[in-house]
Every structure is written in structure tokens, then in C-alpha cells.
């Protein structure tokens, strides 16, 4: 039995910051000091505070280290593990708002204080590649309970009573979806886990699969039991190789212990799971396109009705649930629907995992009870906008969502509140924007993504989004007119109204949201030919403030188009706007702040 | 079938459970415009033209796929639906070629009709167009993606009807286009050139490679003796090019118009169909007697022959070595006819009017050449003939009925006529083979068992104490199981007729286009209507068996001497070679 555990984050983010090498280094340092039998190094899933990764946690001391490099391994082992002296410079700390002193106690760190980790319960705690650790954390107990003490209908009722709603973006009541499928005549049915997570900036599902793959497998088996299915698919995007590997290991270990396969827990219930990889199409996150892809066809959505619960993959009744939805199912079965329903708001029970990104101090993964306000998430947990910049908006729901502004920050997050405010929960992506973001450019960015990802099946999305992108590009490049604005809004409504699937139906949301909330920025681009946030290159002018110019010529030497003229030491340098390509190299080069951008 | 009660535009409508809003509306006399929908081919809700407002459903639903439900309320032409529909058509037009005036489907285009119906007046949404591909390399089919509306009808047709799937969507989003794999030319892949894709295309994205210009040049060349022959199926469809209802037989007017256009001789391919029966019947009897390769399969459908050479080259020995009728005719014209008339074969130009696209590819086959000459020089589809007639200002519908030239080759039997429909070649062959085998005349020359435009047909005959099983397939999806049986050595048949197109030549890739609004209403009935014209002509003929054709008898007496003899093999038979599926 070891006396100390060293947990190192092995999620994709920290791995790309060399956390795997951190693990190797710590191991080798331990061997040097002959500590390898007393101290165990464990690779875990995501701790959530990705901004500060790679993260190393020492237990039982409950000391968290951040920004750990392989070179720090020696010091951590020698000083903390061997001599018992934590390495202060690496410790994750917070500042007490009143005393302004450093806080070292992990339980008092603001980032974690308001979180409640249900879906992420085991992430950062267990080794995801060891089924024994999952079992030690009450893993597979829920499946056992369901198979040996409950009927399928009782399982569905429990999920219904919990109030669990889909976490993939639709927010559809999970229990109701399972009931539809269960009501279909007995026969071949399927359970699908949608792990295609395509929203830019979203990594909730990835982290759950990397950090706690078994919870998904266990919950899929529970779902299969509930609806009468013996076969499951995890459809996971190929861009998540670590998650795929962890799933494959988990499947193998679960099968070895008879927790998947035939006659699980001697109940007579068979269930096994197959992994299917995506091939780089955002649209395959749409459930019917996902089904097409599993069937080996081109990933184009099918009209609904019929819904997958009635006719899904291979034409059979199928339930498709998001990774995070499944991550909540086992806990609900284990701890009871009442417990789950006691968390959150009246119509949105439980917690939600958010991927905080953009202009935010604490980029990372957070899980909060529904009803937590946006202000709490962005400021208390997220640490607000860095560099003293002013908050402008927060974009939720990825390319399908809309923006929320300062005025909305005290709203409690839940499905219906966000829709009422003109956005949506989406899968959990939360991108914070500050004064340096151009909202027209943000809308254009999302439309560009949509145009690239549209499957091309239906005319409104295939052609309409392209036309909207052309209009947004015209606006950003100074060619927009009043007619462009009115055409853009009109077309946005039409595309929303006539598209075949959710991708097209929500493609207009960022445009419509920013048009409504930031009309003045659009107007500035169109009528003044100016970008207030100084982002849209075509609308910028770079100039040199004569009084500040030291005639050093640094700017001219760095200009790629020779647009700056002057005489070294003698004459003030001047930028020729006709040749200037607005790259900003002169502004970066000038040491005297003489280059202005407007 | 249980009924569902719903409201459409405020009207109470009763519909079959499981039907769609489109079907229910039609039954109630409400027309919802569609574009991609083609009954039995595509029902994908892709184009979004047929979108309608449904109470309590957030976005508009596609009527062609949305199932009716009890108490549903639908508004097909509310302001919201009308605006959305026009907007969708405007978007489609913004990414569409504007060359309507010079397009082959000018005035016969479903998109033109649709734009008119929803009252498009502006050139809305000017912007980039999808990168174009223009492929006119293959002899039969031309693909122009600037006109494609991505309806998917051709994709489904090639996949389901022929089991080939030559065409599919590639790339995604705005860059999506429809074409062969890697956007190769039709000439580089295993395309049968059957042209079924053209028949279902609502616009001019797929069309035949026209030879009208070359034919006019030949007609104007005083040194050329231009002979035209007409396939049986053409008379069953040509009338539609002039507004006549489907199923109008126009044999007499067709001949009259060809004469007025100025062809030196107007003959009927049916004459050569009788010739084919003599050759093929004899070939079959030889194989039976000498235990040759059986089952023998007909070879008059060049699309089918292409398919075999790509997909089942191991079954080449099963194919009859007979050329197709029009090719046989061309060979006779450039030898026996030219010699008799004292014309240099090089100055004989043979033009075939065909319901077929694949024949444009067949005429250039190296394997068919005789003395370095093509048997047939130009193939015009039924549609091209329609255009040629208009070019020459001929008032088709008011023409008198005229008869073919009887100079050496005018006679044909009813057996020759029915070549144009699936089962026809088999029936024609049986009418002669049965007599040859039994030595007795037939009391009834009708073989109803091999008729019908749907499904595989088979018949078992007792001839001279032998049980002879025959089968008839049309389209490759129906033929494939029969071919797999032959490959496995388990085929029970002695003789199989295979035609490349579903329904046979009456539904060939060169026939009059039947637009969706008509086809959705008629279903396979349009084929039955055309087939009936041929069976009607068959009954009206003085002779209904190929071997009774006196001019055919004369041809053998004076020139060929005997079926499958030396001269026949030189002129009227061919061979086949495996072709690579992918270049």
C-alpha cells in the first residue's frame, strides 16, 4: 500500500503540454530515490483548470501544482515527496479578496468553490485506464442495481423522475426519449452515444471520455436494459485519439470482468458496445446524419419524423444520447432521482459542464448546478476577462447559439432561461468576448464554420449560408450597404425556417443575435466603414503620430509592402494607405507608440 | 388501411395512414410544388421547395416526406410558406446556370416551370457559384454541373435501378457536386451509358450528346446516300415530343416526317429485328444441339453488353454473338444494299433513330467494324428526332400517315415490333424457335408469360419433348441475381433476355422525358401505355413471326445463304472483351 499518490492530468490539453513526459520524469526521479514502491504515479482525466495545466495533484496532502514542466519533476520529488516540503512556487493558489493573501487550501480556491462535479466526478481522481479504480468509486453498482432489483420500466421511471434533460444541446427529457423507444415493439433496438462533439471550443465530452470512460459504458448498458436493446455504438470523432484509446481499453476491461457481454450479473441481459469513428464532419453530430454515417453512408441528415426512437439505425428503434447525459445516468441510478432533482432549477435539474474559453482568465472545464448565474461562472469561477479588458458578451451554444450581454449576467443558467434570452445552452461551450472582439467578425467566424461544415443536402443551408457569409464578408470588408443588412436579416430568418436539420436551422442564430444586440457595430461597418473593435482589417487605418515619431525607421524596415516612407533621423515617417495591407507589423516594431490604429 | 383526419388550408381531409402531406394534399386537390421529389426514386426532403407550415412544429416541414397525423393542421400556401418557397427557389437559381435560352431543356425544364409557378422576378442573391464540371467525353451522356440542383434522382436511379452507383454526391456544403468517383468522366468508369439518369434529371445537368448537326451535314452532302432506320420503341414515344398523350402510336407520321427531312431511304429497324431472330434463333438451336454454353443471353441491348463487359466478363461466352438489329442493318446496308445499288459503301451514311443512349457508344465499338467502317454512322435519340423535325419546320401532328420504303428492306413482322419492350425479344425468338424445334406451326403466337414491365418474368415451355426454361430481366438490378446464378452454375434457364433499361426500350434513356408531375401521377403506367402501342402494332401486322418475313427470306436466298453461315458471321456477328471498370 503506497503512502502517497501523485495524480497527473493526462487529458488532451495537458498532454500537449508534455504531461506524459512529466509522468515519466517523476517516475524516474522516484526510482533514483528508491521511492517507487511507496509512491504511485497515476495518470488521470481532466482537473478542469486547463489554464494552469499541466496539473499535478499530491494526495493525501491535497496539494495541487500547476504549470508543471518535466524539469520540475526533480524538485517535486526531492522537496515535497521525499522531504515533505511543498514546492511553493508551483502551488495552485488563489488570492483572498479581503486580506489579499494567498490561499493554498484547494477547497477554498474560488475556481472549485462553486462547482459541483457529478458528470466529472471521477475526472482528475481515478486512473481511467484501470477499471478497478472505477469500481472502487462505486462503478457498475448502478448497472448491478438496475439489472438485479429493477424492471426496465422502473429504470425509465427513475430517469424521468430525476428530470434529466439531454446535455448535447437539445435538452429533450431523457426519460421521455427512452420511453418512446421502450414502447416500440420488442425486437432489435440500439443505444447510441453521440461523442462527435463538434462545437468549436467545446471539450466537455472529450474530457469525460478521457477521464472516466466507464461511466459512459455503464450508463449505455443501463439504457439498453431500459429500452430492450442489446447493442450499443459509441460514435466518436476521430480527432479524439486519446479518448478512443481510453474507450477501447475500458471496453476490453469491462468485457474481461463480464460487465459487458452476455448475461451481465447473471441477469440474462446481454449488452455490448462497438466504437465507430467519425471522419471529420461536424454535421455527423446531428443524430440522423450520425446514423447515416454508422450505416456506412454519406453523413447527410434524414427528415424527422420518423424520429430515431421509432426508426433509427438500420431502421430499428434507437436512442441517441450525449456523453454528458450518459455521465449523469449512472449517478442517478445509484443515488436516486430525488437526489438529482434536488439540484438545479425547477425545469432544469442537475448540473451542467461548461467549457470556458475565449477572453477569460481561467480557461477550462467547470461543472455547476443549473441555476448558477452567468456572473458567478464568468467572474467567480472564470476569473473574469484578463488584462483588465471590459467584458462585452458571452457566446453560448457554439455555432448554434447566440450572445448574452452584461444585462443578462445575473440570469440563472438553465435551458429555458437561455432560450428566453435569445441564446441556448447548447452542448456547453461558453466563449467569453471582450471589447477587442468585433461582433460582426464573430458572426462571420461562425458562419464561415457553418459553410465549411454544411453537408450540402438541402438548398437553404447549402446556398443560404454561403450567401449569408458573402454578405457578412462584404460588411467586414467595407462593401456592405443598408440593403446588405436587411437582406442578411431576411435571409437569416428564411434559412432558419426552411433548413432540413438542426445545423441549418440554427446557423442563423449568431447572426440574428448579434444583429439584435450589437446593431451599432454593424451600422458602423456599413455606414461609417469603421470597425469599432479594430479587428476588421479592411476598415482599419494605420497612421504615424508625427509628434511621437523618432524618425528611427524601424517601422519602414518591417513593412512588407514598403508602404512607409521617411528619412532616417531627418524626416517623420508616413504610411501610404494605398499600399498598406494593415498587417500591423509597424505597430509591433515601433518602440515609441507612434503608430496608431483606428 | 386506416384513415387519418387532418386539416389542410382549413379544409377537412381524410388520408391513408402512413401517407405524406403531399399525397394527402393532392387527393384534396391542393398542389404543392416540388423539385427533388420523384415517386419511387427520391423522397428525401432535400430541396425544401415543398415546405409547408404545420401547426405546433417550429420550422417548416417538407410535404413530400412529412407523414400525416390525426388532427394535424397544415397550411401549404400561407404567406410564410409562399415566401419561404420563393426564397428557396431564388437561392437555387443563384447557384444555377443562366443559359436557359441555349439549354437542351429550354421549355421542358422542371426548374423553369417551378420558377414561373412561384413567381420569381428578381435575380436575388448574386454571389459565387460552385466550381463547375463539364464532361462531354463519353459518346452518350453529357454532364454539366452548372445546371445541377442536387436533387439526387440520378444518384438513386443508378444505384437502385442499375445497381452501379456511378453517380454520387462528393465534397460537401456549397462545394457539393454530383458525378462519378473522383469526378472522373463517364468514359473513365464502369458506366453503362444507359441514360436512365437523363430520364430522371429535372433540368439540363445530364443530357445526350447530340448528333443532329452531323446528320444535317450528311443530308446536305450531295455525295452521300443517307439511310435512316427507326427502332420500334421510337414510334411509341415520339408523339409526346409534339404534345400527344403518352401511348399515342405515331408510326405513319414518323415516317412522313423523315421523308420530308430528306433522307434518301426510310427503313424500319424492325426488318433487322427479324434478321436478328433468324441469326439468334439459329445460334440458340446450335448451342442446344451441340451442348454449347447455356444459358444464352440476348445481346441487342448495348447498355447491358457494357455492363457485362465491366462486371461479368467471365460470362462473355453466354452472350449471343449477334450484333444488335440496327448494327446488323447497317452492315447489310453497307454491303449487300450498297453493292446492289452501285453505291460506294463509304458514301452510305446510316442514321439510326433510337430510344437509346448506349447505342451512341455501340456504334463506335471496334469489335463491330466491318472493313474498317462503322455499321451505323449516327444515332439520334427520339428526343433529337423531335428537335430535328422542328428544325425543318415540319408540322408533325398534321402529317398524313406514310409507309416505309419497300425497296429491299421495308417489310417487318409483328415479332420485330415488340423488340422495343421487355420480353419482346424473347417472345419474338420463341415464335420462331418453337416452330423450328417442333416442326409445327403455332396455334397461338402470343407468349403472355414473358410480358410485363415490372419484375423478372419467366416461362417454361415444352418443345419437342424438351423442357425449355426462359427468363426475362430488365435493368441490372433485376438481371444481377440471374447472372450470379449463372456464375454459380445453378441457372435453370436455357435462354435469357436482358435489356438494360427498366421496361425495356420503351423506357430507354433516349425517349421523351416524362416530367415529375406526370410521372408522380402515373407511376409505371406510362411504360404500360407505351408498351401497348407496340403490342397493338404487332397484332395489326400481316406476319407476326420473323421467319415469315419474305424480304428476310430473300436476303438469305440471295446473299447470306444461311443463318450463322460464313457471311453472317462476317457481317452480323461480333465478339466481346473485358473492359476495365476504372481508368
Q: What is the DSSP string of A60-109?
A: TTTEEE-S--GGGHHHIIIIIIIT----GGGB--EE-TTT--EE--GGG-
CATH number at residue B171: 3.30.70.20
Are residue B287 and residue B365 in the same domain, yes or no?
Answer: yes
Specify whether the CB–CB gap between A410 and A451 falls below 8 A.
Answer: no
Q: Any CB–CB contact under 8 A between B57 and chain A?
A: no
Residue B427 annotated among the catalytic residues of the structure:
no
Tell which of B209, B232, B267 closes a domain.
Answer: B209
Kind and range of the H or E element at B219? helix B212-219
Specify whether the CB–CB gap between B249 and B530 falls below 8 A.
Answer: no
Query: Residue B429's closest CA among B503, B486, B497, B476?
Result: B497
Are residue B201 and residue B226 in the same domain, yes or no?
Answer: no
Q: Any CB–CB contact under 8 A between B94 and chain A?
A: yes
- Cell matching residue B296: 444464352
Q: Among residues of chain A, what percentage have pLDDT more than 70?
A: 100
Residue A1: pLDDT band (50, 70, 90) is: confident
Please give the Cα distance from B71 to A517 (Å, whole number).
39
Q: Which of B177, B301, B320, B335 is catalytic?
A: B320
Residue B540 annotated among the catalytic residues of the structure:
no
- Cell matching residue A536: 476588421
Residue A306: list chain B partners with CB under 8 A.
67
Q: What is the mean pLDDT of residues A420-446?
A: 95
Residue B146: list chain A partners with CB under 8 A.
none
Please give the Cα distance from B411 to B434 (Å, whole number).
22
CATH number at residue B16: 3.10.20.740
Query: In a 10 Å sphere around its CB, with 0-12 CB exposed, 13-18 middle and 19+ buried, how is residue A120 labelled?
Result: buried
Q: At what angle do helices A482-498 and A509-517 cross, to 10 degrees?
A: 140
Contact A283 B47 (CB under 8 A): no
% helix / strand / coil in chain B, to the nearest 5? 45, 15, 40
Specify whether the CB–CB gap between A178 and A153 falls below 8 A.
Answer: no
Specify whether the CB–CB gap between A415 and A348 falls below 8 A.
Answer: yes
Are β-strands B495-499 and B466-474 bridged in parallel, bridged antiparallel, or unpaired? parallel
Contact B125 A494 (CB under 8 A): no
Residue B91: list chain A partners with CB under 8 A.
459-460, 463-464, 467
Contact A467 B125 (CB under 8 A): yes
Please name the member of A454, A459, A466 whose beta carbon is closest to the beta carbon of B47: A459
Q: Which of B147, B253, B334, B359 is catalytic?
A: B359
Are residue B181 and residue B71 in the same domain, yes or no?
Answer: no
Are residue B331 and residue B358 in the same domain, yes or no?
Answer: yes
Specify whether the CB–CB gap between A225 and A153 falls below 8 A.
Answer: no
- A568-592 tens-digit pLDDT: 999 999 999 999 999 999 999 999 9
- Cell matching residue B160: 437502385
Residue B49: list chain A partners with CB under 8 A.
459
Contact A303 B168 (CB under 8 A): no
Q: Is residue B427 part of a domain?
A: yes
Please give the Cα distance from A53 to A532 (Å, whole number).
34
Contact B80 A458 (CB under 8 A): no
Are β-strands A402-405 and A571-575 bridged in parallel, bridged antiparallel, or unpaired? unpaired
- A90-109 tens-digit pLDDT: 998 887 777 888 777 777 78
Interface of A with B (CB under 8 A): 281, 283, 298, 300, 302-303, 305-306, 451-460, 462-467, 470, 491, 494, 496-500, 505
Are residue B20 and residue B80 in the same domain, yes or no?
Answer: yes
Kind and range of the H or E element at A226? helix A213-227
Contact B172 A497 (CB under 8 A): no
Please give the Cα distance from A137 to A117 (Å, whole number).
14
Residue B570 annotated among the catalytic residues of the structure:
no
Phi, psi of B582 (to 5 degrees): -150, 125
> How many residues does the structure list for chain A?
598
Please give the Cα distance from A329 to A162 (Å, whole number).
9
Compute the nearest-CA separation of B86 from chain A (Å): 10
- A508-556 tens-digit pLDDT: 999 999 999 999 999 999 999 999 999 999 999 999 999 999 999 999 9
Specify whether the CB–CB gap between B333 and B356 falls below 8 A.
Answer: no
Query: Residue A396's closest CA among A429, A367, A363?
Result: A429
Specify whether the CB–CB gap between B280 and B428 falls below 8 A.
Answer: no
Please give the Cα distance from A195 to A277 (Å, whole number).
9
Contact B62 A303 (CB under 8 A): yes
Compute the nearest-CA separation of B132 from chain A (Å): 15
B49, B52, B174: which to substitute to probe chain A, counting the most A Cβ within 10 Å?
B174
Contacts of A485 (CB under 8 A, 6+ apart): A475, A515, A522, A523, A526
Q: What is the largest CA-CA distance in chain A?
A: 92
Tell me the HSE value of B126 on the side-chain side, using a 13 A CA sphere. Answer: 4
Are residue B189 and residue B226 in the same domain, yes or no?
Answer: no
| pLDDT of A380 strictly over 80 | yes
Residue B359 annotated among the catalytic residues of the structure:
yes
Q: What is the mean pLDDT of residues A485-503?
A: 97
Q: Any CB–CB contact under 8 A between B80 and chain A?
A: yes
Residue A298: list chain B partners with CB under 8 A.
168-169
Residue B61: list chain A partners with CB under 8 A.
303
Q: Is residue B450 part of a domain?
A: yes
Residue A505: list chain B partners with CB under 8 A.
59
pTM above threshold 0.90: yes
Query: Residue B472's closest CA among B393, B547, B419?
Result: B419
Kind and range of the H or E element at B141? strand B141-144
Please give the Cα distance from A513 to A419 (Å, whole number).
11
Q: Is residue B42 part of a domain?
A: yes
Query: Residue A348's closest CA among A428, A403, A402?
Result: A428
Residue B67: list chain A partners with CB under 8 A.
305-306
Residue B62: list chain A partners with CB under 8 A.
303, 500
Q: Which of B148, B322, B356, B505 is catalytic?
A: B505
| pLDDT reported for residue A62 | 87
Please give the Cα distance from B154 to A133 (Å, whole number).
55
Mean pLDDT for each consecutive 10-residue tract of chain B (583 residues)? Answer: 94 96 95 96 97 96 98 98 98 97 97 97 93 97 98 98 96 98 98 98 98 98 98 98 97 98 97 97 95 97 98 98 98 97 97 98 96 96 98 98 94 96 97 92 94 96 90 98 98 98 98 96 94 97 95 96 95 97 94
Q: What angle do CA A453, A459, A462 make, to 5 degrees?
A: 20
- B140-171 tens-digit pLDDT: 999 999 999 999 999 999 999 999 999 999 99
Are residue B266 and residue B409 in the same domain, yes or no?
Answer: yes
Please give the Cα distance from A68 to A50 (Å, whole number).
12
Cα–Cα separations (whole angstroms), residue B356 to A219, B325, B359? 58, 13, 6
Q: Is residue B105 part of a domain?
A: no
| pLDDT reported for residue B465 | 86
Q: What angle do CA A508, A512, A514 make, to 5 degrees?
A: 120
Q: Is residue B65 part of a domain?
A: yes
Are residue B429 and residue B326 in the same domain, yes or no?
Answer: yes
**Which residue reads 494567498 in cell numbers?**
A102
- Cell matching residue A420: 428566453
Residue A345, Ramachandran bin (φ over 0: left; ψ between -120 and 50: alpha; else beta): beta
| pLDDT reported for residue B466 | 85
- Overall number of domains in chain B: 3
Size of interface A-B (CB pairs under 8 A): 103
A278, A459, A484, A487: which to substitute to probe chain B, counting the most B Cβ within 10 Å?
A459
Compute the nearest-CA separation of B149 from chain A (Å): 8
Residue A41: pLDDT band (50, 70, 90) is: very high
- B111-140 tens-digit pLDDT: 999 999 999 998 899 999 999 999 999 999
Tell which of B180, B209, B238 closes a domain.
Answer: B209
Specify whether the CB–CB gap between A284 and A196 falls below 8 A.
Answer: yes
Question: Would you call the peptide bond into A54 cis, given omega within 30 degrees of 0 as the criterion?
Answer: yes
CATH number at residue B456: 3.40.50.1780
Q: Is residue B179 part of a domain?
A: yes
| pLDDT reported for residue A95 | 78
> How many residues does the structure list for chain B?
583
Contact B174 A305 (CB under 8 A): no
Where in the sequence is the domain holding B193, given as residue range(s)? 130-209
DSSP, collapsed to helix, strand or coil, labels residue A234 as: strand
Residue B300 annotated among the catalytic residues of the structure:
yes
| pLDDT of A6 strictly over 80 | yes
Are residue B347 and residue B487 in the same domain, yes or no?
Answer: yes
Are residue B268 and residue B193 in the same domain, yes or no?
Answer: no
Are residue B287 and residue B313 in the same domain, yes or no?
Answer: yes
Q: Any CB–CB contact under 8 A between B60 and chain A?
A: yes
DSSP A444-487: HHHHHHHHHH--S-SHIIIIIHHHHHHHHHHHHTT---HHHHHH
Please give the Cα distance from B491 to B489 (Å, whole number).
6
Contact B49 A459 (CB under 8 A): yes
- A219-255 tens-digit pLDDT: 999 999 999 999 999 999 999 999 999 999 999 999 9
Specify whether the CB–CB gap between B449 and B462 falls below 8 A.
Answer: no
| pLDDT reported for residue B544 | 96
Residue B362 annotated among the catalytic residues of the structure:
yes
Q: Is residue B466 part of a domain?
A: yes
Are residue B78 and residue B175 in the same domain, yes or no?
Answer: no
- Cell matching residue B507: 423506357
Tell which of B209, B233, B258 closes a domain.
Answer: B209
Residue B367 annotated among the catalytic residues of the structure:
yes
| pLDDT reported for residue A288 | 98
Please name the member of B83, B95, B169 whose beta carbon is closest to the beta carbon of A463: B95
Specify whether the CB–CB gap between B189 and B181 falls below 8 A.
Answer: yes
Compute the nearest-CA separation of A349 from chain B (Å): 25
Please give the Cα distance from A366 to A145 (Å, whole number).
29
Q: Which of B103, B191, B300, B564 is catalytic?
A: B300
| pLDDT reported for residue A96 | 79
Q: Is residue B148 part of a domain?
A: yes
**Bridge partners for A272 per DSSP:** A231
DSSP, collapsed to helix, strand or coil, labels residue A367 as: strand
Residue B20: list chain A partners with CB under 8 A.
none
Amino acid at each position: 500500500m503506497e503512502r502517497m499518490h501523485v495524480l497527473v492530468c493526462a487529458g488532451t490539453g495537458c498532454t500537449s503540454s508534455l504531461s506524459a513526459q512529466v509522468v515519466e520524469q517523476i517516475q524516474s526521479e522516484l526510482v533514483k530515490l528508491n521511492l517507487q514502491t511507496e509512491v504511485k504515479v497515476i495518470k488521470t482525466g481532466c482537473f478542469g483548470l486547463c489554464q494552469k495545466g499541466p496539473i499535478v495533484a499530491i494526495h493525501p496532502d491535497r496539494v495541487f501544482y500547476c504549470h508543471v514542466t518535466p524539469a520540475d519533476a526533480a524538485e517535486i520529488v526531492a522537496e515535497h515527496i521525499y522531504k515533505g516540503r511543498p514546492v511553493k512556487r508551483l502551488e495552485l493558489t488563489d488570492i483572498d479578496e479581503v486580506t489579499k493573501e494567498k490561499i493554498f487550501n484547494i477547497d477554498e480556491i474560488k475556481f472549485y468553490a462553486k462547482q459541483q462535479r457529478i458528470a466529472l466526478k471521477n475526472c482528475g481522481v481515478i486512473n481511467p485506464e484501470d477499471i478497478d479504480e472505477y469500481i472502487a468509486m462505486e462503478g457498475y453498482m448502478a448497472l448491478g442495481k438496475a439489472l438485479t432489483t429493477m424492471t426496465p420500466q422502473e429504470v425509465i421511471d427513475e430517469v424521468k423522475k430525476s428530470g434529466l434533460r439531454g446535455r448535447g444541446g437539445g435538452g429533450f427529457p431523457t426519460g421521455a426519449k427512452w420511453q418512446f423507444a421502450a414502447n416500440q415493439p420488442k425486437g432489435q433496438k440500439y443505444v447510441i452515444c453521440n461523442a462527435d462533439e463538434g462545437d468549436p471550443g467545446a471539450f466537455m465530452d472529450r474530457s469525460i471520455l478521457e477521464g472516466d470512460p466507464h461511466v459512459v459504458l455503464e450508463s449505455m448498458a443501463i439504457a439498453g436494459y431500459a429500452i430492450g436493446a442489446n447493442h450499443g455504438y459509441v460514435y466518436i470523432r476521430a480527432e479524439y485519439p486519446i479518448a478512443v484509446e481510453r474507450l477501447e481499453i475500458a471496453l476490453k476491461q469491462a468485457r474481461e470482468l463480464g460487465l459487458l457481454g452476455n448475461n451481465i450479473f447473471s441477469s440474462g441481459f446481454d449488452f455490448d458496445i462497438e466504437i465507430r469513428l467519425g471522419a471529420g464532419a461536424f454535421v455527423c453530430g446531428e443524430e440522423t446524419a450520425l446514423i447515416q454515417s454508422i450505416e456506412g453512408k454519406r453523413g447527410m441528415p434524414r427528415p424527422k419524423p420518423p424520429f430515431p426512437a421509432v426508426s433509427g439505425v438500420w431502421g430499428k428503434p434507437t436512442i441517441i444520447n450525449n456523453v454528458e447525459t450518459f455521465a449523469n445516468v449512472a449517478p442517478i441510478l445509484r443515488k436516486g432521482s430525488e437526489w438529482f432533482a434536488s439540484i438545479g432549477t425547477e425545469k432544469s435539474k442537475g448540473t451542467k459542464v461548461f467549457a470556458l474559453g475565449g477572453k477569460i482568465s481561467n480557461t477550462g472545464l467547470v461543472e455547476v448546478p443549473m441555476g448558477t448565474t452567468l456572473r458567478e461562472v464568468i467572474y467567480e469561477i472564470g476569473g473574469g476577462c484578463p488584462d483588465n479588458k471590459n467584458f462585452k458578451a458571452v457566446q453560448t451554444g457554439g455555432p448554434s447559439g447566440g450572445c448574452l450581454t452584461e444585462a443578462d449576467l445575473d440570469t440563472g443558467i438553465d435551458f429555458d432561461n437561455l432560450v428566453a434570452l435569445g441564446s441556448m445552452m447548447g452542448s456547453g461551450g461558453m466563449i467569453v468576448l471582450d471589447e477587442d472582439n468585433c461582433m460582426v467578425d464573430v458572426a462571420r467566424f461562425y458562419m464561415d464554420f457553418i459553410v465549411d461544415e454544411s453537408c450540402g443536402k438541402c438548398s437553404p443551408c447549402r446556398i443560404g449560408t454561403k450567401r449569408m457569409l458573402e454578405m457578412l464578408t462584404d460588411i467586414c470588408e467595407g462593401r456592405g450597404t443598408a440593403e446588405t443588412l436587411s437582406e442578411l436579416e431576411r435571409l437569416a430568418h428564411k434559412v432558419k425556417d426552411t433548413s432540413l436539420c438542426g445545423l441549418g436551422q440554427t446557423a442563423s442564430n449568431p447572426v440574428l443575435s448579434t444583429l439584435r444586440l450589437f446593431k451599432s457595430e454593424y451600422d458602423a461597418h456599413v455606414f461609417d466603414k469603421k470597425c469599432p473593435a479594430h479587428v476588421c482589417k479592411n476598415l482599419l487605418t494605420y497612421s504615424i503620430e508625427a509628434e511621437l515619431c523618432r524618425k528611427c525607421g524601424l517601422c519602414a524596415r518591417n513593412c512588407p509592402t514598403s508602404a512607409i516612407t521617411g528619412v532616417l533621423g531627418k524626416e517623420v515617417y508616413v504610411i501610404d494607405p494605398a499600399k498598406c495591407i494593415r498587417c500591423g507589423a509597424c505597430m509591433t516594431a515601433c518602440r515609441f507608440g507612434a503608430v496608431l490604429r483606428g | 388501411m386506416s384513415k387519418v383526419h387532418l386539416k389542410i388550408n382549413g379544409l377537412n381531409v381524410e388520408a391513408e395512414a402512413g401517407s405524406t402531406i403531399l399525397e394527402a394534399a393532392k387527393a384534396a386537390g391542393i398542389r404543392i410544388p416540388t423539385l427533388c421529389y420523384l415517386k419511387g426514386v427520391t423522397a428525401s426532403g432535400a430541396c425544401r421547395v415543398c415546405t409547408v407550415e404545420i401547426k405546433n412544429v417550429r420550422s417548416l416541414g417538407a410535404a413530400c416526406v412529412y407523414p400525416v397525423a390525426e388532427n394535424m393542421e397544415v397550411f401549404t400556401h400561407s404567406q410564410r410558406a409562399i415566401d419561404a418557397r420563393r426564397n428557396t427557389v431564388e437561392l437555387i437559381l443563384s447557384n444555377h446556370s443562366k443559359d436557359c435560352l441555349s439549354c437542351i431543356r429550354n421549355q421542358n425544364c422542371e426548374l423553369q416551370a417551378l420558377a414561373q409557378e412561384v413567381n420569381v422576378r428578381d435575380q436575388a442573391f448574386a454571389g459565387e457559384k460552385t466550381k463547375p464540371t463539364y464532361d462531354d467525353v463519353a459518346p452518350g451522356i453529357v454532364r454539366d454541373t452548372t445546371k445541377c440542383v442536387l436533387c439526387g434522382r440520378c444518384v438513386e436511379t443508378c444505384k437502385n435501378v442499375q445497381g452501379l452507383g456511378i453517380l454520387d454526391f462528393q465534397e460537401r456544403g456549397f462545394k457539393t457536386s454530383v458525378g462519378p468517383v473522383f469526378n472522373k468522366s463517364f468514359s473513365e468508369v464502369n458506366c453503362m451509358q444507359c441514360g436512365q439518369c437523363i430520364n430522371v434529371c429535372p433540368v439540363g445537368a445530364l443530357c445526350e450528346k447530340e448528333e443532329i448537326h452531323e446528320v444535317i451535314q450528311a443530308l446536305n452532302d450531295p455525295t452521300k446516300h443517307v439511310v435512316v432506320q427507326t427502332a420500334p420503341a421510337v414510334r411509341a414515344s415520339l408523339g409526346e415530343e409534339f404534345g400527344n398523350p403518352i401511348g399515342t402510336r405515331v408510326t405513319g407520321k414518323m415516317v412522313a416526317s423523315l421523308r420530308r427531312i430528306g433522307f434518301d431511304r426510310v427503313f424500319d429497324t424492325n426488318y433487322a429485328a427479324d434478321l436478328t431472330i433468324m441469326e439468334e434463333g439459329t445460334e440458340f438451336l446450335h448451342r442446344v444441339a451441340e451442348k454449347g454454353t447455356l444459358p444464352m443471353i440476348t445481346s441487342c441491348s448495348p447498355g447491358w453488353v457494357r455492363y457485362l463487359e465491366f462486371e461479368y466478363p467471365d460470362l462473355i461466352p453466354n452472350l449471343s454473338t449477334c450484333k444488335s438489329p440496327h448494327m446488323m442493318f447497317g452492315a447489310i446496308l453497307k454491303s449487300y444494299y450498297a453493292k446492289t445499288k452501285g453505291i460506294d459503301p463509304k458514301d452510305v451514311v446510316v442514321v439510326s433513330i433510337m430510344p437509346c443512349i448506349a447505342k451512341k457508344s455501340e456504334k463506335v465499338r471496334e469489335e463491330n467494324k466491318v472493313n474498317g467502317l462503322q455499321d451505323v454512322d449516327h444515332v439520334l435519340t427520339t428526343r433529337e428526332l423531335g428537335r430535328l423535325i422542328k428544325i425543318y419546320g415540319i408540322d408533325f401532328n398534321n402529317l398524313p400517315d406514310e409507309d416505309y420504303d419497300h425497296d429491299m428492306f421495308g417489310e417487318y413482322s409483328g415479332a420485330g415490333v415488340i423488340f422495343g419492350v421487355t420480353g419482346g425479344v424473347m417472345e419474338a425468338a420463341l415464335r420462331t424457335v418453337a416452330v423450328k424445334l417442333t416442326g409445327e406451326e403455332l396455334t397461338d403466337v402470343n407468349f403472355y408469360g414473358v410480358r410485363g414491365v415490372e419484375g423478372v418474368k419467366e416461362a417454361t415451355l415444352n418443345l419437342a419433348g424438351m423442357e425449355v426454361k426462359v427468363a426475362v430481366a430488365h435493368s441490372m438490378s433485376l438481371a444481377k441475381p440471374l447472372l450470379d446464378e449463372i456464375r454459380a452454375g445453378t441457372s435453370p434457364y436455357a435462354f435469357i433476355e436482358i435489356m438494360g433499361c427498366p421496361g425495356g426500350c420503351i423506357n430507354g434513356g433516349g425517349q421523351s422525358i416524362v416530367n415529375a408531375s406526370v410521372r408522380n401521377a402515373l407511376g409505371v403506367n406510362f411504360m404500360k401505355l407505351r408498351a401497348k402501342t407496340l403490342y397493338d402494332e404487332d397484332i395489326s401486322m400481316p406476319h407476326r413471326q420473323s421467319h415469315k418475313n419474305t424480304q428476310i427470306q430473300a436476303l438469305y436466298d440471295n446473299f447470306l445463304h444461311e443463318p450463322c453461315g460464313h457471311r453472317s458471321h462476317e457481317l452480323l456477328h461480333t465478339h466481346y472483351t473485358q473492359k476495365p471498370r476504372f481508368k
